[in-house]
Chain A
Amino acid sequence: MRANDSAGAKAPAHEKNMVRELRTGILFTLVSMALLGGVYHGIVWAIGQVAFSEQAEGSLIRDAKRGVVGSRLIAQPFSRPEYFHPRPSAVNYDAAATGGANYGPSNPNHLTAVREQLSHLIAINHVPASQVPSDMVTASGAGLDPHISPDGADMQVARIATAREVSPARVRDLVQSHIERPTSGFLGRPRVNVLELNVALDAVLGLAPSRTPTRESTTQ
């Protein structure tokens, strides 16, 4: 047992203590950096490769014809009428430089952005403001929210049915089958994954007639 604390420690002993102290600190830093910065990551990586390889690579969605079309967890931009549109993104869906708008609730720029998005949604979907849910006019935290609320999807059904020249009921059925319920019935909110729903739209209803012919890779 040693008590390093005695007030009468002599200078040479103190210097020796200091050298030992520095040596211990440096060794601990290097050893634990190797274990936690290296080995630990290797273990988690290996578990991912063995048990959760899809998720470990980023939950990418592969399409037989089109290759990798996105990640089921990452929103992508949609502006064509035949697809469901995601929530607004402060970073224009840039999944390499993410972020929120960080507008405070009283910021005039924020309220202008909300008002513009609301007019846009009313114009393209021909619905009254009362049918627009708040998630569709506000930017998400990361700008990559892959989901919209079921109301946000319902609001777009008529537009998509018209663009694809199918009955609204078929589109609505597809939305219904894609609603994710709260986990165990109480955790989280009901939601629809926009990319998965759009992939299903293309798969079930075929590519929309309005699709531009320049997309040769996708129209074969």
Chain B
Amino acid sequence: MVADYFAVAVVVIFTIATSLPIGRYIFRVFTDQRTWLDPVLVPIERLVLSAIGVDATAQQGWKAYARSLLISNVIMWLVTFLVVSVQHALPLNPDGVASMEPTLAFNTVSSFTTNTDLQHYSGETGLSYLSQMAVVTFLQFVTAATGVAAGIAVMRGLAGHRLATLGNFYVDLTRATFRVFLPLALLVSIVALSQGTPMTFDGAAQVTTLEGEAQTIARGVTAAVVSIKQLGTNGGGYFGPNSAHPYENPTPLSNLVETWAILVIPMAMVWTLGHMVRRRRFALVIFTTMLAIYIPMVVADVAFEALGNPAIAAMGVDQSAGSMEGKEVRFGSALSALWAVSTTVTSNGSVNAMHDSLTPLGGLVPMVGMWLNTVFGGVGVGVINMLIFVIVAVFIAGMMIGRTPELLGKKVEGREMKLASLAMLWHPLAILAGTAFACYVWTTTADPSTALAWLKNPGPHGFSEMLYEFTSATANNGSGFEGLGDNTPFWNLSTGLVMLFSRYIPIMAPLALAGSLAAKPAAPETAGSLPADSATFGFTLWAVMVILGLLMFMPVAVLGPIAEHLAVR
């Protein structure tokens, strides 16, 4: 147990330490300052911008910025939808994978375009090599970059003083793609390769086992996908079981690097925020508040998984290695629990153990991460979601001390509060209404002869499977309780739509909010204002997140994981 916590602590501290210089690097990239990678990467940026005919100095107001973001994403959606729908007839398909049927294609493309990467197919049987490259890898870069661009634009708005523009979307998108994600992805790909992740255009390997049976081993262009899947909070695995598959995550060292890659850019974006608004202490307060939610979750989840399954202990099997169902021996329960928390707080959604088989409370913690969806959060959008909580906390604090709420010297008024509320309320609405709808459909259509229908598990755990699916789709996370038979028209269409709304509402409303804040003058703070870079504010923010962000999920937590915990205890 002590060794487990030591390993977990080393990973987290290493990641925090490296997020600082990366946050500074991202800040320099987006503010036209020199970086040591410029000689290689700036030519690529220039090449792309000139090829698409964008003037790097042209500025956009929030509406133009938002329009470019939406239109570019719609085009990406259409082109990739076409590719997966006809992949059977396209080249680079050595294993003869069939084209996707329309509802699965809708779900898959919506999922990857929204940076969710919920997968209702299994990679080795559902996608050709070309689709893995031109659809999955491509979207994993550009949608992560879309999130970073939106995050940077919102930061500019926050830092602005009577500012009419938020930057240029295509310049930000290009920089995020080619100057932030590309170099890191190459680095992580090389580590993955060295540890055993394949990278081959040959089809599946045919082997004869020691006992003389034929075994077909799927492989492919895996290393290139694994790196960006982690760095861009995408999470879409090359193979069905994601990073639990030994090819996607071969060793404890690759597991360390992948866990690092999941967390590092979402963490770095907080430091970038501090540089952008020229308030390093503000970033420190935000980061500490996030840590004060993340660390207890990690400690709790490691403990829940270390306890093992009491029902198996009752059979006389030693549970000292923790719960091992759905987990890999090379990682053990602690590194699996650390991953489960990290991948859900950051909107990543890759897994190195099957979340459906986590202990009841061990499976609740990842859901809590997605219900908040902002403890580091998705690349770029995590900071945006946090800003929504910050605005609400400022408002509540302002009410309590009887002053006009202010954030970094800017007055927070009705328009800002309306936009923040819209972004904040959509999240629980989609999760709770979606789960309720799924329960209704399940109870009215389930055939008594196949009593569980699309559920793999009976009782409260079955409810958790549906709750998790809508939570994951709404949080743009992409992990799942994969026992759910989710490749059906109902799940493909419902979660596909939820992912689209849950991606663009919480980007559009904050962009509008940023546009509104940017135009306001930044007044110097007075003795009467509550400084946003104080510990008092950090505590207020923490309380607002826990009370407003989580309390409304208490009933479903009781119906699902907590009921199951009481049943197996």
Contacts and interface: CB of A to CB of B under 8 A. Distances in A.
Contacts of A187: 7, 10, 252-253, 255-256, 335
A43, A107, A128 pick with most chain B CB within 10 angstroms: A107
A98 interface: yes
Given A3-B59, A32-B141, A104-B564, A87 B318 contact: no
A180 B10 CA distance: 20
A104 B318 contact: no
B221 A106 contact: no
Given A80-B211, A141-B241, A48 B193 contact: yes
B181 to A, nearest CB: 9
B264 interface: no
Interface in B312-330: 312, 315-319, 321-330
Interface string B193-236: 11111111110111111111101111101011000000000000
Interface string A90-125: 000111111111111111101100110010000000
B186 A102 contact: no
B551 interface: no
Interface string A1-44: 11111000000000000000111111111111101111011011
A186 B344 CA distance: 24
B185 interface: yes
B184 to A, nearest CB: 12
Contact of B212 (A100, A103, A218): A218
A40 B246 contact: no
Nearest to B182: A40
Interface string A182-202: 110011110100010011001
B325 A105 contact: yes
Given A33-B134, A145-B246, A96 B216 contact: yes
A148 interface: yes
Nearest to A150: B329
Nearest to A147: B329
Interface string B326-346: 111111100100000000000
Interface string A138-178: 11111111111101000000000000000000000000000
A104 B251 contact: no
B196 A105 contact: no
B71 A21 contact: yes
B354 A141 contact: yes
B377 interface: no
A56 B456 contact: no
A102 B483 contact: yes
Contacts of A68: 205-208
Nearest to A31: B51
A94 B142 CA distance: 33
A55 B64 CA distance: 47
A142 B246 contact: yes
Interface string B39-68: 000001000100111100111111110011
Given A31-B48, A104-B564, A133 B213 contact: no
B122 interface: yes
Contact of B326 (A27, A102, A130, A133): A102
Contacts of B206: 68
Interface stretch (B153-161, B355-363, B387-395, B416-424): B355-363
A185 B139 CA distance: 38
A168 to B, nearest CB: 21
B240 interface: yes
Given A23-B53, A68-B205, A97-B124, A202 B240 contact: no
B324 A135 contact: yes
Given A36-B137, A70-B215, A93-B215, A21 B328 contact: no
A128 B122 CA distance: 39
A140 B328 contact: yes
Contacts of B240: 97-99, 142
A33 B138 contact: yes
Interface string A73-101: 11111111001000100000111111111
A75 B245 CA distance: 11
Contact of A58 (B138, B198, B256): B198
B79 interface: yes
Interface residues of B, number: 133
A186 B3 contact: yes
Contacts of B335: 187-188
B198 A106 contact: no
B245 A144 contact: yes
Given A45-B199, A100-B482, A187-B256, A4 B205 contact: no
A128 B318 CA distance: 11
B253 A83 contact: no
A56 to B, nearest CB: 5
Given A3-B165, A105-B325, A182-B252, A28 B170 contact: yes
Contacts of A33: 79, 134, 138
A137 B178 CA distance: 46
B269 to A, nearest CB: 21
A64 interface: no
Nearest to B164: A3
A134 B308 contact: yes
B245 A21 contact: no
Nearest to B195: A55
Find the residue from A26, A73, A105 having the highest chain B CB count within 10 A: A105
B248 to A, nearest CB: 9
Contact of B325 (A40, A79, A103, A183): A103
B103 to A, nearest CB: 21
B468 to A, nearest CB: 11
B205 A71 contact: yes
B483 to A, nearest CB: 3
A136 to B, nearest CB: 8
Contacts of A23: 53
A23 B272 CA distance: 31
B52 A45 contact: no
A69 interface: yes
A98 B241 contact: yes
A198 B209 CA distance: 11
A67 interface: yes
B137 A40 contact: yes
Given A70-B209, A134-B317, 20 more contacts: A28-B48, A29-B76, A38-B134, A55-B197, A56-B193, A68-B205, A87-B329, A100-B326, A101-B357, A102-B354, A105-B357, A132-B318, A133-B321, A137-B312, A140-B244, A141-B245, A145-B330, A183-B253, A187-B10, A188-B255
9 contacts: A32-B142, A40-B182, A68-B206, A98-B239, A103-B325, A135-B324, A142-B241, A186-B3, A218-B212
Query: 8 shortest A-B CB distances, which residue pairs?
Result: A5-B61, A141-B244, A188-B252, A129-B316, A102-B483, A4-B64, A104-B461, A37-B134
